[in-house]
Structure 1
Amino acid sequence: MQKSDIARLLFLAALWGASFMFMRIASPAFGAINTAFLRVFFGFCGLATILLVMRGSFRFDGKMKQVLLLGVINSGIPFLMYCIAAQLLPAGYSAILNATTPMMGVMIGALFFAEALTLKKSAGVVTGLLGIILITTTGNASEAHILLPGIVCCLIATACYGVAGFLTRRWINQRGGLDARTLAMGSQLGATLFLLPFFIGSLTTGPQVQWGQSEAWLSVLAVGFLCTAAAYIFYFHLVASIGPLRSLTVTFLIPPFGVLWGWLFLDEALPGSFFIGAAVICLAVWLVITPSRAERANQPQVK
């Protein structure tokens, strides 16, 4: 792995880690639905602009419906869940729970997509569940009662990511594929269309929102253009450079950045027992995403 790849990996993790801080700022100010909609809308605008500037393809080759639906599953619902969680949890909690995505993928693959569940991956799932229990029971009973709904929202989001990964393979990759930038832009369009009715309903019947909050607007713009649009481009370059397996190591780096930004800019103080649960979840992710000897033997070498 080149130094430039390492720098790109760290920068990507810093961007995605910062998204939880930005949602933590914007969601209480604008509301979960409004924040989620604005994130995917600005993400779509940013990706569409990038495609225009880079003269990318806007062709979906007959997969438009599937791409839009993937946007709902992979962005619309998860971003809404994270925005709800941002009103209930410190940014560090959401960042750590986001790392359960590979574990969710293993569970969903085994239950619904006939994926082989190896002993190592099974151990990762069990370990991850233990980590979630440790985080959920951190602090006193009153705090746990407040945190639990936010934790459930985060787990719904990561379950959606797990489902979307398998559906992308079935609907897109096994049907001739699609340019990754076009797929990303189309998915954000699908998420925008999905959240638009909820956004309109929130504006017309929801609580009054003070839209003149500059800090919240800066956070929404940052999470849309930087943590969504720009991050996608960095991720695609990373996959092309070091391969999808090595790119998954970003999963380990997002939680430390999420906790760091929350501590630096939001004065979030997390109990020591939280970090024990976080370490257990990171161990679970490692067990899930690192291939066994047999899997490594069957994989092509990435240089």
Structure 2
Amino acid sequence: MVGTMTTSATPEALPEAPVSAASQEQAAAASATHQETPGSARRKVDWRVRFAFLSLVWGFSFLFIKVGTEGYAPFQVTLGRLLFGTVVVAVVLVVKRERLPRSPRTWAHLSVAALLLNAAPFSLFAYAELTIPSTLAGICNATSPLWGMALSLVALSEDRPTRRRVAGLGLGFLGVLTVLGAWHGFSGVDARGTALALLASLCYPIGWIYVRRTLAGSGHSNIALTGAQLLVATVELAVVTPLFTSMPSHFPMVPLLAVVALGALGTGLAFLVQYDIVSEVGPTTAQMVTYFTPVIATAAGVAVLGESLAWTTPVGAVIILAGAALTQSRPRAARRQP
């Protein structure tokens, strides 16, 4: 649930998920050129542990949003999230002595990417969770690969659908209808909040397509582009937030800590971990985090927040994840590594 510019699915997807500012091809190239000494490799935490950490952080992000909105307005939660996430990445940029892009054209593209992958979806999820449980928001986030598949039918001519992937698209949206209890007339489900969460999930593949066409192969590192993207998104929210909210009269500690965790862990640190995993094991394995996130989000919502769970929610979630997995499948020849 990072929501930056990786082309794998998020986070909130590979947010969060995202949160990276280059394509998977760039990450793969980086892994091919990055060499570690035997000593550094031994000291490195196993990628499975980092994968589990990433799944846990992005799964809990929906809980953090819910708790944050109990004390602050949705735009304030999003602004805090972006601010703390930017600080974490900025520290890494300074340590690694990475330079931000200088081209005005690159910054213009980053402004659009920041809106589509950070400012808009983060805000939409925050507003959605005013009226829907965090469990439902996490499951709605899992529809991002389905939206991406639907968009690929018209937007990416080089990524043509197969019968299996089209079947996955249909299966996934059947899962959405199951979660919402369509045969009961969507009773007990807040239509507006659910629509906002689904719209947030749609923002990610739109953003990924835009990034793939404008910033892939720009010559800048993932960290530099992501730092710039988060900085722009923070500025965008800093401009918008005062127009719709007023300064809080007090600062509740628990919601504040939730916002700090959401930004520093779910947006800043999560990106760094995600990029590290992509560089080590490749984007195909790394994007599997998408299928663990809604499971953890549901467990956290039920166990920590005491949210109710009808049978349609877990059953529909399983159907959605099965459909999403089918939409991400490729022919064997395409999956074969050189």
Superposed counterparts of 1:107-256, under 5 Å? 107-114=150-157, 115-137=159-181, 143-144=187-188, 146-174=189-217, 176-204=218-246, 209-256=248-295
- 3-state SS of 1:30 partner: coil
| Paired residues of 2:98 and 2:224 also in contact (CA < 8 A) | yes
Q: Which moved more, 1:288-297 or 1:269-278?
A: 288-297
Q: Which moved more, 1:220-229 or 1:183-192?
A: 183-192
| Paired residues of 1:136 and 1:147 also in contact (CA < 8 A) | no
- 3-state SS of 2:71 partner: helix
- 3-state SS of 1:28 partner: coil
Is 1:262 the equivalent of 2:305? no
| Paired residues of 2:101 and 2:225 also in contact (CA < 8 A) | no
Superposed counterparts of 1:46-85, under 5 Å? 46-61=88-103, 62-85=105-128
Quick one: distance in 2 between partners of 1:138 and 1:28? 29
* Counterpart AA for 2:63: M
Quick one: distance in 1 between partners of 2:212 and 2:220? 11
Shift, 1:60, TM fit: 4.7
- 3-state SS of 2:101 partner: coil
| Paired residues of 2:71 and 2:251 also in contact (CA < 8 A) | no
Quick one: distance in 2 between partners of 1:229 and 1:256? 22
Q: Which moved more, 1:51-60 or 1:15-24?
A: 51-60
Q: Which moved more, 1:187-196 or 1:288-297?
A: 288-297
Shift, 1:199, TM fit: 0.9
Quick one: distance in 2 between partners of 1:171 and 1:211? 43
Quick one: distance in 1 between partners of 2:250 and 2:226? 28
Structure 2 CA distance for partners of 1:217 and 1:140, relative to 1, 3 Å:
farther
- Structure 1 portions without partners, runs of 5+: none
Q: Residue 96 of structure 1 aligns with which residue?
A: 139
Structure 2 CA distance for partners of 1:143 and 1:32, relative to 1, 3 Å:
farther
Q: Residue 52 of structure 2 aligns with which residue?
A: 10
* Counterpart AA for 1:44: T
| Paired residues of 1:131 and 1:278 also in contact (CA < 8 A) | yes
Q: TM-score, normalised by structure 1?
A: 0.90
Quick one: distance in 1 between partners of 2:186 and 2:163? 37
Using the aligned pairs only, state the percent identity.
23
Q: Residue 148 of structure 2 aligns with which residue?
A: 105
Q: TM-score, normalised by structure 2?
A: 0.81
Moved over 6 A (4+): none
* Counterpart AA for 1:18: F
* Counterpart AA for 1:35: V
- 3-state SS of 1:29 partner: coil
* Counterpart AA for 2:164: K
Shift, 1:24, TM fit: 0.5
Quick one: distance in 2 between partners of 1:170 and 1:75? 18
| Paired residues of 2:100 and 2:225 also in contact (CA < 8 A) | no
Structure 2 CA distance for partners of 1:143 and 1:24, relative to 1, 3 Å:
farther
Structure 1 residues 3-58: Cα deviation after superposition (integer angstroms, max 9, x where no partner):
81111111101011111000001113211111111111221122112211232232
| Paired residues of 2:114 and 2:233 also in contact (CA < 8 A) | yes
| Paired residues of 1:56 and 1:182 also in contact (CA < 8 A) | yes
